[in-house]
């Protein structure tokens, strides 16, 4: 059975850099608070008019496709992971298919937030292993800057997130010393509301929270209401400490699951590329697994948390910096809203 290799990888981040100091013009915060709690020093925000989740994903995809030595017409399946799509529907996958003038191939959208890219990779890997597709484009992209509360009320969430995209091309290899060895996916829906954006949605809390008056609102007008805007209910909610506590347990668990499944131990890792949620979480994981500094890649300092884009952006930068060579053991790991968490272990 063939294994998947990353034949090409590319990234795109917007030009606009927003430092922690820049955020102070919108909210009561400080560089010290943000750096100390998260490690983040700056993030990129997409151009308000021209750049979208899809356009950033398309730019990253062009680089990945070129580096794979193929053309957009060679791609036979698209998987697009994001929580900030251009449209509520359809998803971003078809926008990539159209923009790159691809054949009438399948386009799948993945909604798994911070673990979206690793989940997407896992789906693509199944099609490669079964011989269904030969060139799969997997994209992670986010435009968070359009949907965050930049007032002091939303500062615990908005200082963390940034915009950006990255993409890979998966291809099959018969080389026994290379490829994606295994993927491991998990979820625990008991904590679904701890890190969530509730509206617009179809949940029953519209009535309970007074977001819609079911007696007066005409049928069809409850999905979005003035009350949601007035009550600032269109922003993400997060219990940061609860997320932190779960993440520092589940990250090491799912990384160890990947290593044990393939008879490796942490010291065998050339590089761990964790989802860039918070530098303190990555440092905690590093400490738990007794990894050296050079075994863990972090770039949250420059980009913040870019959710579905964070793992592939970090992987792309690590590869561009020459930190990953053919045959190296590389582990990708992610944790996020849902909660969902996942890992993928490669022989690069």
**Residue owning tokens 């950033």:** 56
Q: Whole-number minimum distance, CB 77 to ligand COA, in Å? A: 27
Distance CA 139, CA 137 (A): 6
Q: Is 92 a catalytic residue?
A: no
Q: Whole-number minimum distance, CB 15 to ligand COA, in Å? A: 24
**Residue owning tokens 């580096």:** 67
Choose, from 20, 112, 199, 275, the residue flagged as catalytic: 275
DSSP state at residue 290: T
Q: Whole-number minimum distance, CB 21 to ligand COA, in Å? A: 12
Nearer to ligand COA, 137 or 195 (CB): 195
For 113: left if phi > 0, alpha if psi spans -120 to 50, otherwise beta; the answer is left
Choose, from 112, 298, 299, 305, the residue flagged as catalytic: 305
**Residue owning tokens 């690793």:** 118
| Farthest-apart Cα atoms in the chain, separation | 65
- DSSP codes joined into one string, 215-266: TTSPTT-SSS-HHHHHTT-SS-EE-HHHHHHHHHHHHHHHHHHHHHHTT--G
Nearer to ligand COA, 37 or 203 (CB): 37
Nearer to ligand COA, 68 or 285 (CB): 285
For residue 205, count CB atoms less than 10 angstroms from its CB and return exposed for 0-12, middle for 13-18, buried for 19 or more.
Answer: middle
Q: Is 114 a catalytic residue?
A: yes
Q: Whole-number minimum distance, CB 87 to ligand COA, in Å? A: 24
Q: Whole-number minimum distance, CB 321 to ligand COA, in Å? A: 24
Distance CA 175, CA 194 (A): 43
The H or E element spanning position 20 is helix 20-23
Sign, CA dihedral 345-79-310-11, equals: positive
Q: Which residue is nearest to ligand COA (CB)?
A: 240
Q: Identify the three-state secondary structure at position 168.
A: strand
Distance CA 82, CA 42 (A): 21
Q: Is 186 a catalytic residue?
A: no
Binding site for ligand COA (CB under 6 A): 29, 33-34, 37-38, 114, 155-156, 159-160, 195, 240-241, 243-244, 277-278, 281, 305, 336
For 203: left if phi > 0, alpha if psi spans -120 to 50, otherwise beta; the answer is beta
Nearer to ligand COA, 67 or 144 (CB): 144
Q: Whole-number minimum distance, CB 248 to ligand COA, in Å? A: 9
Choose, from 114, 135, 278, 331, the residue flagged as catalytic: 114
Nearer to ligand COA, 287 or 292 (CB): 287
Nearer to ligand COA, 53 or 112 (CB): 112
- Residues designated as active site: 114, 275, 305
């Amino acid at each position: 059975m063939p294994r998947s290799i990353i034949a090409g990888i590319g990234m795109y981040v917007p030009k606009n850099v927003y430092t922690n100091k820049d955020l102070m013009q919108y909210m009561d915060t400080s560089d010290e608070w943000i750096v100390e709690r998260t490690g983040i020093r700056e993030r990129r925000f997409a151009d308000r008019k021209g750049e979208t989740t899809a356009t950033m994903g398309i730019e990253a995809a062009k680089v990945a496709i070129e580096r794979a030595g193929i053309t957009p017409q060679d791609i036979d399946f698209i998987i697009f992971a994001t929580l900030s799509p251009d449209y509520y529907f359809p998803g971003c996958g078809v926008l990539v298919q159209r923009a790159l003038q691809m054949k009438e191939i399948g386009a799948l959208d993945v909604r798994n937030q911070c673990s979206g890219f690793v989940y997407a990779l896992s789906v693509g890997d199944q099609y490669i292993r079964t011989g269904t597709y030969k060139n799969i484009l997997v994209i992670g992209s986010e435009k968070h800057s359009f949907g965050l509360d930049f007032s002091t009320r939303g500062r615990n969430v908005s200082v963390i997130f940034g915009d950006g995209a990255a993409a890979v091309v998966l291809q099959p290899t018969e080389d026994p010393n290379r490829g994606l060895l295994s993927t491991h996916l998990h979820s625990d829906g008991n904590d679904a509301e701890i890190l969530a954006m509730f509206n617009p949605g179809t949940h029953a809390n519209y009535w309970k929270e007074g977001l819609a008056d079911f007696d007066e609102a005409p049928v069809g007008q409850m999905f979005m209401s003035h009350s949601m805007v007035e009550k600032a209910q269109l922003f993400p909610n997060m219990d940061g400490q609860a997320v932190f506590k779960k993440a520092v347990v589940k990250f090491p668990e799912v990384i160890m699951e990947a290593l044990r499944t393939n008879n490796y131990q942490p010291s065998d890792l050339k590089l761990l590329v964790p989802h860039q949620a918070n530098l303190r979480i990555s440092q905690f994981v590093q400490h738990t697994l007794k990894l050296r500094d050079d075994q863990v890649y972090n770039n949250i300092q420059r980009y913040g948390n870019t959710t579905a884009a964070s793992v592939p952006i970090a992987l792309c930068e690590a590869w561009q910096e020459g930190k990953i060579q053919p045959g190296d053991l590389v582990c990708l790991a992610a944790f996020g809203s849902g909660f969902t968490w996942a890992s993928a272990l490669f022989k690069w």
